[in-house]
Structure 1
């Protein structure tokens, strides 16, 4: 037995693990592998969370950018998805004007300002949802207050809600001033009015006007119906001028001359009595071959106000410099009213050559036959100006 044991080497002596140690080693390796798997899972979950966060952040940025983009496209703002809207059907009344080229957002802002809808975003949402919304026409609309946004879109699509506007053109305005007046009340842009005026045939401008619309836009109150255009608007005003000229028995070959003289009288005189005297004084000057020396004519040619003229302006060479040129200006300087036209047709007989307004508030005007007498009146004006300069 001892020889047997002496002839063999034990597993312990050979450095081999015993069955117990081998089992323990396997268990330790398994534990390590489990720990590694858990660590890998933790890292994977962490990476996944970070990826989700990055994607979510990118999504938020993209959403913000495109919501701002599409909000700007419709004219609205990037408010949150909760849209505040009235329940409707609304009450009371408001008039809102839709201008040519208005986006859904621009219309919405006007409706909010007028109290028709609750928010711009509510309207732009309803506008985008209605495939006919882009067919809303320029014009003035009578709507209810506190309407549901979708109902407001429907109401703007209903021509029955469009209302006529009134434009009052006062005497003595230039064509440019009249365009601005029309544009401020209607939806007709100034550029459209200028384009229409440049086409005499389209607006019925008589040949006697020589293509110049100045003086031919009669001052009156006009009803502007829904759908009115620059051409229809100016045509009505030119037609009214022709009507008044015919009603006063003026021969057609005298139309332009009468309008030129009447425009001067309109800008120079305040009362009808003064206008008839100014009309006579103009005839007296023309008859003597004198220069008219009317500030309003010079100012028109320079595009200035009559009160902004200087002595240096009198030296500028223009067809409207009545201090250098003899005779009438080439065309009217404003649109005269019927009183001024009648003053030209029926001037008060008298020897006057000069006139000057001595009180700019009341329009009191004094007339003179001699230059010395005129200088006295001018001194009276200068005194008034000095006393009222503050």
Structure 2
């Protein structure tokens, strides 16, 4: 049998670090391609030599003379051209090192992981697109990641925001034109809205913090929000046909309730009124349809039957959500507190203290408490 491996393949000497950066980038690409071809040849040869292949495989690195991320090399720094590196959600130090090595930021994964473990603040590194420098020292790379100066923007959407408020916030944070968001909202299928939404995004834009990358578009951001809502409803076992009504109820609870424990009671009171064919009489819904704050509602607003969201004049649920609810409000609708309540009123507008009643006379007592509080705090 011919001894195929008495001498390792020819290995080109590693360049000294001061060599021009562009030359080293090109050499890294050539080296990866060359090693890929050599590995294929070696694997075929191992099949041919049979049982002796195990010993050869165990000494593969020394036989091939490969330069891999397993070598604990480090660049002297300080670094050169900028390069964006995506750090995935939940990435370990090793995963980060692999991403940085592939991008040419660090010379080896072991050097980075050693620096990562030596820096107690490395646990603060957040996912996202980090702007790094090519050929940094591993220690400097960790220090720069810890600063979390990502190329991404953070877009935070509070619970209870309407679509209009979300677009306004998104335009302010991202700098994307409002017309781009408006155009995307007119194409509901493009942003993933299900048919049950009736072409309206209200209620389907999940309130959360989103990482906005430099090349993100308005339609992509809206798609993320719709996707989060859809996934949440699916995880909670809400049937497709029930999702719109769940979001309508949750939006009412979101805009009316300040405290988590109150929201579950409100969800029960809403369902109790629906079961008894009672008008919901929810001011937040009327205000949404009138396009004004709830504190500015007038008697004429409550008597306006042309307002489709006027739950004093129209029985049942309003035609759509009045805001974009968060997970707590959705949970409240899916798991309401048992009880016979049909009324509620916030008796202290500063603390949000809310009282629930089963009968009209009891409710009127609590309404008087609110009036007394308003008189004392006018």
Query: Which TM-score tier does this pair reach, normalised by the shorter chain?
Result: 0.5 to 0.7
* Corresponding position of 2:197: 209
- Give per-residue Cα distances to partners, 1:87-135, cap 9 Å, x unaligned: xxxxxxxxxxxxxxxxxxxxxxxxxxxxxxxxxxxxxxxxxxxxxxxxx
Structure 1 residue 247, shift from structure 2 partner: 1.2
- The correspondence of residues 182-331 of structure 1 with structure 2, limited to 5 A, is 182-316=170-304, 317-331=306-320
| Aligned partner of residue 201 in structure 1, secondary structure | coil
CA RMSD of superposed structures (Å): 1.8
2:176 & 2:372 partners in 1: Cα distance? Answer: 45
1:371 & 1:162 partners in 2: Cα distance? Answer: 56
Query: Do 1:276 and 1:343's aligned partners in 2 also have CA atoms closer than 8 Å?
Result: yes
Q: 1:343 aligns with which of 293, 314, 332?
A: 332
TM-score for the superposition, normalised by structure 1: 0.58
2:301 & 2:315 partners in 1: Cα distance? Answer: 17
Q: Does 1:364 align with 2:353?
A: yes
- Unaligned 5+ runs, structure 2: 1-128, 132-148
| Aligned partner of residue 167 in structure 1, secondary structure | strand
Q: Does 1:377 align with 2:337?
A: no
1:337 & 1:369 partners in 2: Cα distance? Answer: 27
1:190 & 1:292 partners in 2: Cα distance? Answer: 35
2:268 & 2:202 partners in 1: Cα distance? Answer: 23
Say if 1:224 and 1:291 are closer, same or farther in 2 by CA, change over 3 A: same
* Corresponding position of 1:333: 322
Structure 1 residue 363, shift from structure 2 partner: 0.8
Query: Do 1:162 and 1:226's aligned partners in 2 also have CA atoms closer than 8 Å?
Result: no
1:193 & 1:291 partners in 2: Cα distance? Answer: 35
- Unaligned 5+ runs, structure 1: 1-139, 143-160
Query: Do 1:359 and 1:384's aligned partners in 2 also have CA atoms closer than 8 Å?
Result: yes
1:231 & 1:199 partners in 2: Cα distance? Answer: 9
Structure 1 residue 204, shift from structure 2 partner: 0.8
Say if 1:230 and 1:379 are closer, same or farther in 2 by CA, change over 3 A: same
Structure 1 residue 162, shift from structure 2 partner: 8.0
1:254 & 1:189 partners in 2: Cα distance? Answer: 34
Tell me whether 244-253 or 380-389 shows the greater mean CA deviation. Answer: 380-389
2:175 & 2:150 partners in 1: Cα distance? Answer: 13
1:162 & 1:323 partners in 2: Cα distance? Answer: 49
Query: Do 1:200 and 1:211's aligned partners in 2 also have CA atoms closer than 8 Å?
Result: yes
Query: Which is higher, the Rg of structure 1 or of structure 2?
Result: 1
TM-score for the superposition, normalised by structure 2: 0.60
2:174 & 2:348 partners in 1: Cα distance? Answer: 36
- The correspondence of residues 79-90 of structure 1 with structure 2, limited to 5 A, is none
Structure 1 residue 163, shift from structure 2 partner: 1.5
- Give per-residue Cα distances to partners, 1:327-363, cap 9 Å, x unaligned: 0001100000011101001111111110001111111
Give the helix-richer structure, 1 or 2: 1
2:258 & 2:165 partners in 1: Cα distance? Answer: 19
| Aligned partner of residue 155 in structure 2, secondary structure | strand
Structure 1 residue 191, shift from structure 2 partner: 2.1
Off by >6 Å, runs of 4+ in structure 1: none
Equivalenced residue count is 233
| Aligned partner of residue 365 in structure 1, secondary structure | strand
Query: Do 1:188 and 1:230's aligned partners in 2 also have CA atoms closer than 8 Å?
Result: yes
- Give per-residue Cα distances to partners, 1:15-66, cap 9 Å, x unaligned: xxxxxxxxxxxxxxxxxxxxxxxxxxxxxxxxxxxxxxxxxxxxxxxxxxxx
- The correspondence of residues 3-152 of structure 1 with structure 2, limited to 5 A, is none
| Aligned partner of residue 223 in structure 1, secondary structure | strand
